[in-house]
Amino acid sequence: MFADSFYPTIDGAVISMETQARGLEARGHEVVMFAPNTPKRLKMDRPVHYFPSFAFRSYTDYRIVWAAPRMMECVRKEKVDVLHCHGLASMAILSLTVARALNIPHVLTFHTMANEAVKYYSFVPLREDMMVPMVWIYLRNLLRRPEVVIAPSAPIRDELIENRIKMKACEVVPTGIDIQRFTPKNHDPTFLERWGLDGNRVILHVGRLSFEKRLDIVLNAMADLRKEEPDLRLLVVGKGPASDYYRRLAESLGIKDRVVFTGFLPDDDLPKAYASCDMLVIASTFETQGLVVLEAMASGTPVAGIRSRAIPEFVKEGKNGCLFDETSCTDAIRRCLSKANSMKMEAVATAMGFSIDTCTAKLEKTYDLAAEIMKNDLENRWF
């Protein structure tokens, strides 16, 4: 597995890669990681090969591998059967180069809507109306090369096709949820007490604090609800390049005392956060799957989610949560709070269909498909 971002950075792609690796290992496979070198390396339970890299100036947690002279030899030494890339930048290009040189099937997961992210993280100061078409040209050229492109949800597969992305094959394979780790049994009143939230109804927001996650929509909704819901609080879990901006926004909206920013939570605390809050809210139009949605549901917590991309694939109005548009978040929070208790069971039932084992079985079939496509291509190459 190849990554553009890697521990200690924690984002959706890193979580997805780790979850899929553990799922594959549980089914008897061996997983080796290829990652950008980082200033701080965490101890890992599996082999990791690091390569020289530099950080994005606008977001230092993202890195570009600039030199990989040992990569091909490392892949050959590990006797790799499938290359699976979890990024769209330098590691996508490098892993494809290795795959072609060694005739190894290549799979790429489309985690990030790069056409939208580019305005936040571009290296060069170009206008958005110039950058976005350039990104689509890059994606059309890149995604036609892997044996299989994985879309984490059906709406993302459809969006790629609608934007004239031609792929050898595209399979919908969601990242699985650890239903043993995320469960209603993690409800813990002392968790809320620790953050001074006991006695309040608490809305949870989990994710990287970046501009594309649109936490501003949620903060404005909290300001709208200030008078009618005096006991309502927002718990914001995560950090990122827009952390200071969102803190200042909460203060300017007069809700500084109603919003708690925790930063990243330890692994043991995150399941407690999901299970102890009344609901989760997500306003990001950027999600290719939105792992936090299924993690919350597995914890028995209904979700108010924006009606965009992958979110409506999992959130069903009035059953396990509520949907909203950019201007209707306030009303969705009202609806979700009023029906939260009645939606808990349906939320759990939704998440059960996306267990790690179920999704790993789909991933195995995708690897088999990639191998079959490569076999056919190699046979046809000579005739």
Q: What is the pLDDT at residue 126?
A: 61
2 part of a folded domain: no
pLDDT of 116: 73
- Assign 167 a pLDDT band (cuts: 50, 70, 90): very high
Mean pLDDT of 148-162: 96
62 and 112 together in one domain: yes
Tens of pLDDT, residue by residue over 211-231, are 989 999 999 999 999 999 999
Number of domains comprising the chain: 2
Does one domain contain both 287 and 149?
no
One domain for residues 332 and 372: no
- Asked if the structure places residue 309 within a domain, the reply is yes
Instruction: Please check the confidence at residue 58 and state whether its pLDDT lies above 90.
Output: no
The predicted pLDDT at position 132 comes to 86
Give the pLDDT confidence score for residue 381 in this predicted structure.
74
- Does residue 94 carry a pLDDT above 80? yes
Residue pair 359/174 in contact (Cβ under 8 Å)? The answer is yes
At 236 the pLDDT is: 98
CA angle 189, 190, 192 (to 5 degrees): 70
At 38 the pLDDT is: 83
Task: Evaluate whether residue 1 is within a structural domain.
Answer: no
Q: How far apart are CA 196 and CA 367, in angstroms?
A: 48
According to the model, what pLDDT value does residue 344 have? 97
The reply to whether 236 and 94 lie within a common domain is no
Note whether residue 6 is domain-resident: no
Quick one: 264 and 302 in the same domain?
yes
pLDDT of residue 66: 84
Can you give the pLDDT at residue 122? 58
Residues 362, 336 within the same domain: no
Together in a domain, 219 and 257: yes
Looking at the fold, whether 338 and 374 belong to one and the same domain comes out as no
- Can the peptide bond before residue 8 be classed as cis, meaning omega within 30 degrees of 0? yes
Which of 230, 229, 264, 261 lies closest to 245, judged by CA?
Answer: 261
The string of DSSP codes covering 188-254 is: -HHHHHHTT-TTSEEEEEES---GGG-HHHHHHHHHHTTTT-TTEEEEEEB--TTHHHHHHHHHHTT
For residue 9, what pLDDT is reported?
83
The chain-wide mean pLDDT, for the chain, equals 93
Predicted pLDDT of residue 356: 97
Q: Which of 33, 87, 95, 43 shows the shortest CA–CA distance to 62? A: 87
4 domain-assigned: no
pLDDT tens digits, one per residue of 319-358: 999 999 999 999 999 999 999 999 999 999 999 999 999 9
Residue 123 has pLDDT above 60, yes or no: no
Check pLDDT > 60 for residue 121.
no
Q: What is the pLDDT of residue 54?
A: 87
Compute the CA torsion angle 170, 173, 175, 177 (nearest 10 deg). 170
The confidence score (pLDDT) of residue 11 equals 84
CATH at 119: 3.40.50.2000
Domain assignment present for 285: yes
Q: How confident is the model at residue 124 (pLDDT cuts 50, 70, 90)?
A: low
CA-closest candidate to residue 235, choices 267, 200, 189: 200
Model confidence at 40, in pLDDT bands (50, 70, 90)? confident
Residue 332 in domain: yes
- Whether 125 and 253 map to the same domain: the answer is no
Contact call for residues 38 and 63 (beta carbons, < 8 A): yes
User: Do 45 and 170 lie in a common domain?
Assistant: yes
In which domain, by residue range, is 247 found?
184-352
- Would you say residue 375 has pLDDT above 70? yes
Identify the pLDDT of residue 310. 95
User: Is the confidence at residue 383, as pLDDT, over 60?
Assistant: no
Q: Please indicate, yes or no, whether residues 347 and 201 belong to a single structural domain of this protein.
A: yes
In a domain, 7, yes or no: no
Q: Is the confidence at residue 140, as pLDDT, over 60?
A: yes
Closest CA to 3 of 41, 46, 30, 35: 35
Higher pLDDT, 165 or 64: 165
One domain, residues 319 and 374: no
In the chain, % of residues over pLDDT 70: 95
pLDDT above 70: residue 270? yes
